[in-house]
Amino acid sequence: MSRLRDLADQHGQSPWLDNLRRGWITSGELQALIDRGVRGITSNPSIFQKAMTETDDYDEQLRELTGGGGSIEDAYWDLVTRDILDALDLLRPIHDATNGLDGFVSVEVDPSLAGDTEGTIEAARELRRRIDRPNLYIKIPATPEGLPAIRTMISEGCSVNVTLIFSLERYVDVMEAYLSGLEAHEGDLSGISSVASFFISRTDTEVDRRLDAIGSEDALALRGQAAVAQGQVAYELFGRTFSGPRWDALAARGARVQRPLWASTSTKNPDYPDTLYVDTLIGPDTVNTLPEATLEAFDEHGTLARTVDADPEGARSTLAAVEAAGVDLGDVADVLEAEGVSAFVKSFDELLVTLGDKVDNPD
């Protein structure tokens, strides 16, 4: 049995693939990964930019979509929809076998709407109309403007993957948006699902940069520790939130916990172990989205043990030490959120230009 299967069966953590491209679907490679233990898929504009520009797998459909005068942006969403639908079909048996726990595929709203609540709501509704499947997650960013959109979509019975979470304070807001959305939904809640995507490695990259700039011995000793500590404290907050009278009332109506999802789990610093952000965040009711290289590394030599709540006091102490050393974690989160939104918008805009070039210059 693979470590990926053991991760889910023995430790309650679902391994998802942090990538999607048409060639994997048509070649059977994606099905092979599912057979090995992958239980879900996430996508984003950057992922589709690479898929659509680095291969010619989409060119024939692109020409068909634009041949009658259709817009490039409309063609993009049609290309995405086809991949998402095909992936949803492959993962539907997982969704059914796990009673709706896993088998999800995530698709993100237009990233340029991250600061537009009403625009995000309408875009999410349109994606839901376009891709009407029970194992679809609509990805909405956890920006201040995204939070009310998350609440609204949950209240309408839509399953949501909340993305771009970089701070504990914003994570608390995300969980509140989910709970209040459930409370506003009438009737049975068992068909509504959500994950909260807490970005991990990017936090270490930015915190380490600041610790290096501080340069003291105490600061340098903290490198590579903040991201994992923040994830572990987030898991503690998750446990507190999804317990007690308020949660019990929702659970009685069929509600599911909003699982923490560890995103951005590839190791950016080559000095750190390649499975650092998997080995240290394993625990029940969690998801880890793995890029291919990290997935292969973990399946080969990852460490299987419950670690996410092994030392919550130590995790809190680490974050306090990072702050005491001179790193403002709130500012780190603000910078990373802005960079994350900007990167997705850039990928989206560049992809539309590239698709336009392919249409105008087919040779």
In the set 50, 139, 268, 358, the catalytic residue is 139
- The runs of H, that is alpha helices, within the chain are 3-11, 22-27, 29-36, 45-53, 59-66, 72-97, 117-130, 146-155, 168-184, 201-214, 217-220, 226-241, 245-251, 276-279, 292-301, 312-324, 329-360
Tokens, residue 227: 């991201």
The yes-or-no answer on residue 139 being catalytic is yes
| Positive or negative: CA dihedral 109, 110, 111, 115 | negative
Taking residue 50's Cβ as centre, other Cβ atoms within 10 Å add up to 14
Rounded Cα distance, 231 and 257, in Å: 17
Tell me how far apart the alpha carbons of residues 71 and 303 are, in angstroms, rounded to a whole number.
48
| CA dist., res. 195 & res. 101, Å (int) | 10
Residue type at 241?
Answer: T
Residues with a catalytic annotation lie at 139
